[in-house]
Amino acid sequence: MTVNAGARLDRLPLSSFHRRILLLIGIGMFFDGFDVYVAATVLGATLKTGFSTLAENAQFVSVTFVGMMLGSLITGFLGDRYGRRFTYQANLIIFGLASVAAAFAPSMLVLILLRGVMGLGLGAELVVGYAAMTEFVPPQARGKWVGALSVFVVTSLPLSALASTLIIPRTSWRAMFVLAGLGGLIVWYLRKALPESPRWLESICRTEEAEAIMKSIEEEVAGERGALAPPVFSKPAPPPRTVAALLNPVLLPRLFVGMVTLIVANTLIYGFVTWLPTFFVTQGRSIASSFLYSFLMSAGAPVGSAIGTLTADSWGRKPVIIGASAMTILAGGIYPFVGNPLSLLTVGFLLVVSIYIQVTLLFAIYVPELFPTDVRMRAAGICNTAGRAATMITPFFVVALLRSYGIGGVLAMIIGLLVVQIVVVVLFGVEPKKRRLEELDSESPLSSLPSQV
């Protein structure tokens, strides 16, 4: 029995079905991002009240990244083995319960241990959320709709800062963990109504379940949008593959692209954006002005995410990634030599915008599209694990370069990585713009190089 799930999903007009999936996955990812970003204000409060020390705060941050790295890797294998629905529900319940428990931590040691558990769920959500959304949206709008998930995540940055400003002084840092945890648990309950991915079910030969879900989706969409166009016939899905399939001549270059680009994306975030207050302080600015400058520049994050979302389908993934990389190189090359405050903010804002265009394209849109359905989450998990591993060593490079060469040294490292990224994407990247996922399964990047460069 051939369900032809991919073709049937791809010919569906956009409807309330797609909006419901976007909203429920997006809100879950919002609370995921909220829980990550709120750590900065929580640690400031625990330090000020004497609940923690600087050394314990550093352990808290390290454990978070270790948990997220492990969560990314484990989720990839669980998602391809047990399904997208099982996995995105499991990670929500993990970080939701752990976050609520953290609010009652009697000591910093217990809070650190709970943060490691939270990290497992936090790292998992980014992998499974983007991959699941990728498999439901038709190709002509896939970039815009999957990119919208990144906007949910990025929006949690200023909102977590605002919530912390309003809540912590009036109550306690513990209230922030309650807010994040209860939000995640509420979304977990609401997500129970979301269907499993028919693409995944068909890829592991659970065709009867895939057919039943497809009929339910088609009936809902047809009831809203009218008669559906007939699907284009697709060749039957190949038998489920092992992780060793990622080493074949088609998928290995894509795995290389995914790992390199996510290492670069994580370095851009954790090697520059999160260090902005420190950079300003080392340049002699006051703490107050450093936070103000950082906030104004960080406003470029949602702007960049929105630009990436809106251009991915019209301009294509590769041109936007390459263009944003070049823009980052240009702004990064100018930034160390700007002294005027207004010019500094302008160049810095453009630098953050260009960084978050890449973050949206790479995390949300491009990497999940590179791999076939039956190995998509394992491959995305491996790529995200490589990126998370980079965050564990990036701070040491930043500190060494900052001490020896100033902010120019840090940006020189970032520019070098961006040059590597451009070369890798040009040579080995495929272009998924408005193409069905099944069309990309067997395409070798080198075979189509002349038409893509």
Q: What is the pLDDT of residues 288-320, one digit of tens each?
A: 566 677 777 878 888 999 999 999 999 999 999
Tell me what pLDDT residue 444 has: 62
- The answer for residues whose C-beta is within 8 angstroms of residue 160's C-beta and 6 or more apart is 33, 34, 37, 38, 41, 176
Out of 194, 229, 255, a domain closes at: 194
Give the 3-state secondary structure of residue 419. helix
- The pLDDT tens digits for 61-98 are 888 889 999 999 999 899 999 999 999 899 889 989 99
Q: Which two tokens stand for residue 400?
A: 């060494």
Does residue 99 share a domain with residue 248?
A: no
Residue 215 lies in a domain: no
Cβ atoms 135, 373 nearer than 8 A: yes
Does residue 440 share a domain with residue 367?
A: yes
Domain that includes residue 161, residue range: 13-194
Does residue 161 share a domain with residue 39?
A: yes
Residue 19 lies in a domain: yes
CA-based diameter of the chain, in Å?
69
Mean pLDDT of the chain, nearest integer = 88
Does residue 302 share a domain with residue 436?
A: yes
- The pLDDT tens digits for 253-266 are 999 999 999 999 99
Judging by beta carbons within 10 Å of its beta carbon (0-12, 13-18, 19+), is residue 292 exposed, middle or buried?
Answer: middle
Return the amino acid letter for 449.
L
Out of 194, 214, 234, a domain closes at: 194
Does residue 285 share a domain with residue 182?
A: no
Q: How many Å apart are CA 367 and CA 421, to the nearest integer?
A: 13
Phi-psi region of 14 (alpha: psi -120 to 50; beta: other; left: phi over 0): beta
Q: Which two tokens stand for residue 404?
A: 């020896």
- The pLDDT tens digits for 378-415 are 999 999 999 988 888 887 888 888 888 888 898 999 99
Does residue 302 share a domain with residue 177?
A: no
| Cα within 13 Å of Cα(67), Cβ side | 23
Q: How many Å apart are CA 91 and CA 79, to the nearest integer?
A: 11
Q: How many Å apart are CA 159 and CA 30, to the nearest integer?
A: 10
Does residue 414 share a domain with residue 291?
A: yes
More confident site: 65 or 114: 114
Tell me what pLDDT residue 453 has: 36
Tell me what pLDDT residue 417 has: 96
Q: How many Å apart are CA 233 and CA 227, to the nearest integer?
A: 18
Does residue 400 share a domain with residue 277?
A: yes
- The pLDDT tens digits for 349-383 are 999 999 999 999 999 999 999 999 889 999 999 99
Number of domains observed in the structure of the chain: 2
Residue 400 lies in a domain: yes
Q: Which two tokens stand for residue 96?
A: 């939701």
Does residue 355 share a domain with residue 269?
A: yes
The values of phi and psi at residue 431, to 5°, are -110, 110
Q: How far is CA 321 from the centre of its chain?
A: 15
Q: How many Å apart are CA 95 and CA 122, to the nearest integer?
A: 7
Residue 202 lies in a domain: no
Residue 109 lies in a domain: yes
- CATH number of the domain that residue 372 is part of: 1.20.1250.20
The values of phi and psi at residue 237, to 5°, are -65, 140
Does residue 186 share a domain with residue 253?
A: no
Residue 230 lies in a domain: no
Cβ atoms 69, 388 nearer than 8 A: yes
Nearest to 101 by CA among 31, 53, 171, 93: 93
Out of 194, 227, 255, a domain closes at: 194
Cβ atoms 83, 196 nearer than 8 A: yes
Tell me what pLDDT residue 254 has: 95
Does residue 424 share a domain with residue 334?
A: yes
Judging by beta carbons within 10 Å of its beta carbon (0-12, 13-18, 19+), is residue 404 exposed, middle or buried?
Answer: exposed
* Residues of the chain above pLDDT 90, percent: 52
> Quick one: average pLDDT of 38-57?
84
Residue 67 lies in a domain: yes
Judging by beta carbons within 10 Å of its beta carbon (0-12, 13-18, 19+), is residue 72 exposed, middle or buried?
Answer: buried
Cβ atoms 137, 221 nearer than 8 A: no
Tell me what pLDDT residue 440 has: 83
Does residue 317 share a domain with residue 179?
A: no
- The answer for residues whose C-beta is within 8 angstroms of residue 174's C-beta and 6 or more apart is 102, 103, 104
Residue 221 lies in a domain: no
